[in-house]
Each structure stands twice: as C-alpha cells, then as structure tokens.
Amino acid sequence: MSTFRVVITDHGFPNLKHEEDVIGAAGGELIVAQCTTTAEVIEATRDADALLVQWAPVDASVIAELKQCKVIVRYGIGVDNVDLGAAKDRGIPVCNIPDYGVHEVAEHAVSLGLALARQLPMIDARLRAGIWKIVPDRPMPSLSEMTLATAGFGRIARAAHTMMSGFGGKRIAYDPFVSADVMEKMGVKKVQIDELFKEADIMSLHLPLTDETKHMVNAERLASMKKTAIVVNTARGPLIDTVALAAALESEEIAAAGIDVFEDEPLPDDHPLRTAKHALLTSHVAWYSESSIPRLQQLAAEEVVRGLQGDDLKNQVNK
C-alpha cells in the first residue's frame, strides 16, 4: 500500500517515467490530472500529500482546500502561478527547480544577443529580398569592443558571462544581492541600475519577477540606452513593458531586441512586437534541450520525495 499520494496537476511531458520511478521507489502513489481551472485543481488535489505543478493555478482558494499537503513543487523556475504567501501561512513549502536548464537558457540568451549584434536576421532578410551587399546597413562593432550587461547575477547570468568572456569586451552586471568581489572574480564589474542601462551594448535580463522588477525595462529606461543597444529577455516576460519596447524599436531609440518570454503568452496576434523593426522573437523555448526535460522531471520528483520524507529541501522559495 502506498504511503503518500502525489498529484501532478498538469503537465506537457511526453511521459512521466522519471516521476513514476522516483515516487514509486519511495512508496508513493502518483495521480495525474490535466487541470486548467482552480475548480479542477481543488477537485484533484484536496487529499494530496504533495503537488507537482506546471501551469495550473494554485491560488489561495486551492491552498485553503488542501487537507494534508506537505510540499508543492513547480516544474521550472518561475512560481507566478502559485500563491506563495497562502502556502506559507498554511506551513506548506513551495519549491522550484532553478537548475535544470541553466546552460540552455544562457545559451539562448547569448545566441539572441550574438545574432543581433552580428545583424544576422536583418542581413538574411535583405539577401532574401534580392539585395547583395558585403557590408551591413547599420554600424557593427566587433564583439571585443562591446559591453555585455546583465540585470541579475545568478546561475544563468553567470553562465552567460562565462560564454561571452571568450569574445573579449567589457562585462558588467547589476544585482543588489551579489557583492562586487564575487563579480570581480569572474571579470565582471558591479554597477548600479542606471549605469547598467547607460553602458550596455547587449543587455540581458536575468531577474525574478517581483513588484520591484515588473516593467523595469520601460520607456524611460529604454530612452537612456545607446541607440545601438540590444535588449535580450529570457527571464520573465513582465520585466519589460513590451509595448514601450516595440515603440523604441520602431523609432530606432534602440537597435534591436531578442525576446523569448512575454507578458501574455502566446504573444497576441495584434501585439506591436510582432511587426516591430529588428525584433527577434522566440516562443518561450530558451529552457529546452533534449536533456533538460528529463532533468527537470527527475529533479522535481526528487524534491517532492525530500519534502515528504522530512529531508532538507534544496529550493524552497517561500521561507
């Protein structure tokens, strides 16, 4: 007989072999739902000992109905769909999996920045339109002369800095929670937020979404950037006021933007970013590789078992 019940509220994985193996080996029962509404989540999870959540809403009304839940684990990094405060009030730890796709997201951010710095989408479009020129239409400095700036200096930002270090150039970062000494060891200069925007040639965002960081990239900050600057976002969509970003691209206030995450997903058909000049858009795929999915599933299942067995949790976000 199983000793605990783990409910997967929803998922988009090809199979659940990793969860079945890890939870089964610990003596648990895995129950799989595909909830999209709070009512469906309440019905599926009321008697659960643990939740594994991908996109389903786990708000205060859901948490209030949980009778015996000991841990909630979110597949992925962001926990926007889980009410952290309500869970904390009930004594339920909420965990994310921040380390399953560090290299993949850093690769994607760097790839967007490099493609736009070398103007690859623009030159490709120009060639396909029948124009053959051996020089770009706009100024193109060497990467060795550019400044990579990251808003944030966590795992992904550090991986991006390591990747970019081979190109030379200057590297700077803003993160109020990381010391200048830590950054300096990686050859990165710590700066304040205004200086970050002013100096950036490639600005890559690597911050969580909070009340303070929402729309940190807005019309005023975009206006403070170089006209040759590139903005990259593989973190959280609402870090950028994307309507203001589209306007800045159209007016050539900045040079280009590479965006993988958006305030509303899928990106609405009528969103001005879809037609903005020099916008390279991808559909929230930065996290993906053939190995990142099974890694995510394995790590999430292991965190659930730790929570149920009373072991130390690795990534609790609502302490």
pLDDT in tens, 103-126: 999 999 999 999 999 999 999 999
Tokens of 90: 């009930």
In degrees and rounded to multiples of 5, residue 283 shows phi and psi of -100, 65
Which pLDDT score is estimated for 78? 87
In percent, how much of the chain has pLDDT > 90?
A: 97
Tokens of 89: 């009030």
Checking if the pLDDT of 1 tops 70, the result is: no
- Rounded Cα–Cα distance for residues 148 and 207 (Å): 16
pLDDT one-digit tens code per residue, 141-156: 999 999 999 999 999 9
Confidence band of 277 (pLDDT split at 50, 70, 90): very high
CB 36 within 8 A of CB 16: no
Considering the chain, what is the average pLDDT of its residues? Answer: 97
- Rounded Cα–Cα distance for residues 79 and 72 (Å): 10
Which pLDDT score is estimated for 2? 65
In degrees and rounded to multiples of 5, residue 300 shows phi and psi of -65, -45
From the CB of residue 134, how many other CB atoms can be counted at a distance below 10 Å? Answer: 4
Q: Residues of CATH 3.40.50.720 domain(s) within the chain? A: 4-100+290-309, 102-281
Point out the residues that are catalytic: 236, 265, 284
Strands (E), the chain: 4-8, 28-32, 50-53, 71-74, 94-95, 147-151, 170-174, 189-190, 202-205, 230-233, 256-259, 279-281
Give mean pLDDT, residues 292-310.
97
278: left (phi over 0), alpha (psi -120 to 50) or beta: left
> The pTM is what?
0.90
Tokens of 293: 């999915």
- In the CATH hierarchy, which fold is given to the domain comprising 102-281? Rossmann fold (3.40.50)
pLDDT one-digit tens code per residue, 190-206: 999 999 999 999 999 99
Checking if the pLDDT of 3 tops 60, the result is: yes
Beta bridge mates, 58? 82
Instruction: Name the CATH superfamily housing domain 4-100+290-309.
Output: NAD(P)-binding Rossmann-like Domain (3.40.50.720)
